[in-house]
Structure 1
Amino acid sequence: MKNIVWSDLQLFLSVAREGGLSAAAREHDASPATIGRRMLALEQATGRPLFVRRQTGYELTTDGLALLAKAQTMEASARAIDDWLDAEGGRSIVRISAGTWTTNFLAENFSRLWNPDDAFRIAFKATEAKLDIAHREVEIGVRNAAPQNPNLAARRCSEVAQAPFRARTASREARDQWVAISSEDIATRSARWLSTQPGVSVAAWANTPRTLHDLIRSGVGKGVMPCFAGDRDPLLERAGDLIADLREPQWLVMHNDDRHRADVRIVIERIVDLLSAHGPLLRGERPM
């Protein structure tokens, strides 16, 4: 489509449907002379006559009919894009990637990250895997390490502590048992740490942190959780000291270009403020 722009094709569609310049001019709030010049320029760009100009109006030539069919296909595609944008209320989307525990914490404090007047929406991507921020799978990632890719930027937010937790109502037998992530599903440092500890008696395995949490809550045994998750649950209590080997920083990671987007910048600042406000909870300084 060299030298042909979509706006000219939109004018062409109007002229073709209305059979003349006047109605098309009213539709696009332009003068008939301007529409006529644009149609002449379109014919020059295509190198083909598109209209037979008569006193009664504009009639499509064979080439004009062929272009009409192609332009209508483009119009349908453009309408699908418009519908997609309208479905989101014309708002942009900021995607946040984080692990299960962090996503749960952010979702619980959603009102600190978004309000109805914002010109964007938020989409959470809860996963223990690291989505590719460099290739824009998400706009913001909450990570436990600074990125090495030069196309990525990062802000250090807070430290996160972890400890063993158990149900307050756990039986005496269950207090010595563990629940763990199964070996084929290990994706976090805490799961790997427990798998290397000697003398661990595992009562049940889970394949996700959510199921691990459910097993701990049910009194099956104790398990390793971030303090900001375990200490927020009134049904749980700590089953041991903070695990020094699992203390780690939290980083917000974003694409060097995307971090300058107004919507992404706002969400970054709000996440930083939220994590800073809950620093003692994240660092394990507020056991229930």
Structure 2
Amino acid sequence: MDFSWDDLRLFLDVARLGGLSAATGKSGLSAATLGRRINALEKQVGEPLFHRSQTGYRLTQSGEDLLARAEDVEAAMLSLRRWKEGAIGTRVVRLSAGSWTSAFVAGHIGEIWTVEDRFGLELVTANQRVDIGRRNADLGIRNQRPTEQWLAGRLIGKVAYGLYSGVNLVNGVKAGYFVGVAGEGGHTHSARWLEARHADRIAVRGHDAMSVRELVVNGAGMSVFPCFVGDSDPRLVRVAPVIRELETDQWLVSHHEERHDPAVRLVGDRIVSLMAQWSALFRGEQPHH
């Protein structure tokens, strides 16, 4: 019997996410179409692959057996893709992170990538989580432990946050106003914290992290920044103690199979080393004032 890799990939999505509706976003197919594809695969195997219930899909013993084999096929397909990429051009390691962390990595690029490396590096900057499971990135720096069972996480540090103003107490800063974040950037936990406590005193907003910093530097008001950003910018001054409730963990996340790739492993180890070297700055223990 010949199995389709597309069908096996859909089976992996449903098995890992525990149901059709959860797998729709990952597969891009409707629940009805997914259901038909899974039913067809079960007919091909000759046995049920899932116990179906209102709470989701749970693997049968046959499903568990197929899962192990489908993961072997997935690893082989990944190896084939790497071989094809290597034949066409250099391997590119994609690292996803938020705006500030991406900027920090860019500022220390020589410790993450050098011209001697036989691979390229791409920074995928996004406030929303990038789907490593679908290989939209090879590595991710996140503020939470990954919950997906196919992702591996490594705790690499802590990130503290503080309230900052520009060095020159002018305009909105002098009046006690704040600079908020609008648009997609407003979904971060620090932006929500500021909005919840000081919405009535937010007079100016920026749509991205960098513009908010420039607004604060130039006196539009105060705002919240990670300490590794605020404490390393001589144009900013921390005006209150570290905000303990905003402190987050920092995790390096990768796909279980992808993390064994030599290039991915090398970049990951370098990121761990870089963050350890600057851990005091990230924890807010090195104010420059």
Aligned AA (1:277): Q
Which residue number in structure 1 is paired with residue 253 of structure 2?
A: 253
Pair 1:94–1:85, CA change in 2 (3 A): same
Deviation (angstroms), 1:203 = 2.1
For 1:93 and 1:276, the matched residues in 2 are separated by 24
Deviation (angstroms), 1:159 = 0.2
Structure 1 residue ranges, 4+ long, deviating more than 3 angstroms after superposition: 82-86
Pair 1:111–1:270, CA change in 2 (3 A): same
Number of corresponding residues: 205
Which residue number in structure 2 is paired with residue 57 of structure 1?
A: none
Deviation (angstroms), 1:255 = 0.3
Which residue number in structure 1 is paired with residue 121 of structure 2?
A: 122
Q: What SS class does the counterpart of residue 203 from structure 2 fall into? A: strand
Aligned AA (1:130): R
Identity in percent: 33
Gaps of 5+ in 2: 1-83
Which residue number in structure 2 is paired with residue 157 of structure 1?
A: 156
**TM-score where L is the length of structure 2:** 0.67
Deviation (angstroms), 1:172 = 6.6
Is the counterpart of residue 209 in structure 1 residue 209 in structure 2?
A: yes
Aligned AA (2:145): A
Deviation (angstroms), 1:283 = 0.1
Query: Which structure features the higher share of helix residues?
Result: 2
Does the 8 Å contact 1:154/1:252 carry over to 2?
yes
Does the 8 Å contact 1:259/1:265 carry over to 2?
yes
Which residue number in structure 2 is paired with residue 236 of structure 1?
A: 236
Which residue number in structure 1 is paired with residue 220 of structure 2?
A: 220
Gaps of 5+ in 1: 1-81
Q: Map Cα deviations across residues 210-254 of structure 1 (whole Å, 9 max, x no partner).
A: 111111111111110000011111111112111111001000010
For 1:233 and 1:185, the matched residues in 2 are separated by 21
Report 1:18-33 matches (<5 A): none
Does the 8 Å contact 2:172/2:178 carry over to 1?
no
Structure with greater Cα Rg: 1
For 1:133 and 1:184, the matched residues in 2 are separated by 20
Greater CA deviation, 176-185 or 212-221?
176-185
Aligned AA (1:110): I
Pair 1:236–1:114, CA change in 2 (3 A): same
Which residue number in structure 2 is paired with residue 101 of structure 1?
A: 100
Root-mean-square deviation over aligned CA pairs: 2.0
